[in-house]
Chains A and B, each alone.
Chain A
């Protein structure tokens, strides 16, 4: 009995102490220990492994090229584990003078170098950066074109490009609304299926393009994984937005508010997609690779008109929406192309482009998931001959109109 009664507190001991130590402390203690251990590793850990086996790893890449008359400006990022010192540069096998604030580029850092070189319009150039160890990094300038300066005229042009490519086509597509409101319900379901086909193809197209862009970057901030990060964030964000709107709109469901919400979600999704599209167009313009002209405007108009159709499709059985609301939907879907064009033309960066294209993909997938219930027929099936035909038709439309765009 004596022993038993004494053993009792021993069993309760740990439980009691668990209650005494506050939860935040239990979280803070390992955090402090981890910080201390990492600091110790950072300070002393490297020495225990000795020197690296090979010479310093010199990995640098040109992040941005600006061409001005008689000058080539390169922004160079160090993507490797060691600092890199640029010693000299030559362009097409001719050493050149250049200005910079520092020749040494720290790990992860970047420096700007301004080369004095009488480049000729429309010619290709190969810039070679020679490091202090004699290692060379080559940077190709496909076609030399003077980089547009970011003045009012330039932003005006980018805004016009964004309007042509994003806003006008989407709004044109929305003109199908009266037609959709008149046709029978199974036709509406068919057009919704067409929308799914359109969006699905758009997602695949964006993925293919995004992968190429991601791989063209310096890799300092990652490559293809940025597509997935962007896509995941956009998809989950859209789902969260949908849940939030649903919760708020429960009472209004009878009035058809959910149909408008679906339109809004689709518009947001398409808007996010157009942000990436504008970015691609703006950057192509800045490096002189965009064939401006009627064909570009026409091609995008045809291509993106279908996006407008997707936005208004859910509104076919909705009470007549106000013109202001429709304009808002159109702006949400098309407007980001303008913003994208600004960013793309003035501060293009492959990693940012990949991330934004990823956001567009995630948004599209999110929208598709939203639309699927709207194509279910009377028996609840999503896939039946008419819907499959619609999906395939949608993909075919985008494939065909995509051929008209060479940007």
Chain B
């Protein structure tokens, strides 16, 4: 049994689950949920191990400093850009986003050669108000060609796909994407260069939030990008799953929220190589606004499923103190890192 790196590429134990849910997204959602109805045995202490549930090797930690970002900080890090009023009275928001190749530690001891926007995965959360003018200067400091493709309503030339408008931005080149922020909601941006799956899997994505003109109610706002890393590059499932990249991060550093306060979660699924992802909250229910494009919630639930690129806004108040788990209700993803706690104080 000689295993070299290439032979290992056939491994992908996760692939089977993916294959089961490959065709119809609606049917998949039901199947994925049916197959993962139990999460008994996970410790409420958030440490796990043995019958207390999944855990990384005890005592091993991720070096957030070396990574250059801590997922706890990413949760509430909104980048509204440099602002300037135009003569017309509109707000102009300007950003400079730099693509860079960077090794990040996605789980204690596991290094992943990521491609990043501004040196972090997910990239910065760009935030504007409906109708603002957006000017995003993209500098490709990576060795590889990239683009920035925004979800939203914009001219074809600003779509950030190969062979349309400026198309691919080569290594060392730059380009300014300019368009209006519309419609309001929770959107995302990502690189759209081929092979597309790899450019997304490597970490080139981020949240793009457009606030409605009248704004939203005051809340403790959080951004969660459900993602994963296919560390052995077999393109069959992933070895590490998480929100905001680091496996089990919010088990070790629970998300601190206040009792009774409105908590708003901007949630997106950008997971590659698995067809579906989900978010499940313990001990509570939330209002769900699909894509965040309507101000009326579409559902009051404790579980939502999303295909890649799907996103929405969750609003929830925690009525009592304590530790409340949240995780993918695809138990396999949860056990491979996509699991965390809210610490309600």
Contacts and interface: CB of A to CB of B under 8 A. Distances in A.
Contacts of A217: 1
Interface residues of A, number: 41
B108 interface: yes
B276 interface: no
Contact of A87 (B2, B109, B229, B232): B109
Interface stretch (A23-31, A56-64, A258-266, A282-290): A56-64
Given A95-B56, A116-B50, A55 B5 contact: yes
B332 interface: yes
Contacts of A130: 107, 110, 231-232, 239
Contacts of A380: none
Interface residues of B, number: 38
Contact of B239 (A60, A62, A136): A136
A118 B110 contact: no
Interface in B292-345: 332, 335-337
Given A57-B5, A135-B5, A88 B13 contact: no
Contacts of A62: 1
Given A87-B107, A134-B110, A94 B335 contact: yes
A90 B12 CA distance: 12
Contact of A97 (B11, B55, B109): B55
B247 interface: yes
A134 B231 contact: yes
Nearest to A92: B13
Interface in A207-235: 216-219
Interface in B41-71: 48-51, 53-58, 60
B213 interface: no
Interface string B197-240: 00000000000000000000000000000000101110000010
A133 B332 CA distance: 22
A98 B57 contact: yes
B91 interface: no
A93 B332 contact: yes
Contact of A59 (B3, B51, B247): B3
B1 A90 contact: no
Contacts of B2: 59, 61, 79, 218-219
Contacts of B233: 134
Given A59-B2, A79-B2, A219-B2, A135 B8 contact: yes
- Residue of B57, B110, B248 with most partner-chain A CB within 10 A: B57
Q: Per DSSP, are chain B's interface residues mostly helix, strand or loop, or mixed?
A: loop
A347 interface: no
Contacts, number: 119
A96 interface: yes
A136 B5 CA distance: 8
B111 interface: yes
A85 interface: yes
B75 interface: no
A237 interface: no
A216 B2 CA distance: 9
B48 A97 contact: yes
Contacts of B231: 130, 133-136
A70 B51 CA distance: 8
A133 B232 CA distance: 8
B112 interface: yes
B109 A61 contact: no
A130 B239 CA distance: 8
Nearest to B17: A93
A138 B11 contact: yes
Nearest to A89: B57
Given A88-B107, A94-B336, A136-B231, A116 B4 contact: no
A117 interface: yes
- Residue of A60, A62, A130, A217 with most partner-chain B CB within 10 A: A130
A111 to B, nearest CB: 13
B55 A95 contact: yes
A132 interface: yes
24 contacts: A70-B50, A70-B51, A87-B60, A87-B110, A88-B57, A88-B60, A88-B107, A90-B239, A93-B13, A94-B335, A94-B336, A95-B56, A95-B107, A96-B55, A97-B57, A103-B109, A118-B50, A130-B239, A132-B109, A134-B110, A134-B231, A135-B5, A135-B8, A136-B8
Given A70-B50, A130-B232, A219-B2, 19 more contacts: A57-B4, A58-B5, A60-B3, A70-B51, A87-B57, A87-B108, A88-B57, A93-B336, A95-B55, A95-B107, A95-B247, A95-B248, A95-B336, A96-B57, A97-B56, A134-B232, A135-B5, A136-B232, A216-B1
Interface of B: 1-5, 8, 11, 13-14, 48-51, 53-58, 60, 106-112, 229, 231-233, 239, 247-248, 332, 335-337
Interface of A: 55, 57-62, 70, 79-80, 85, 87-90, 92-98, 103, 116-118, 126, 128, 130-138, 216-219
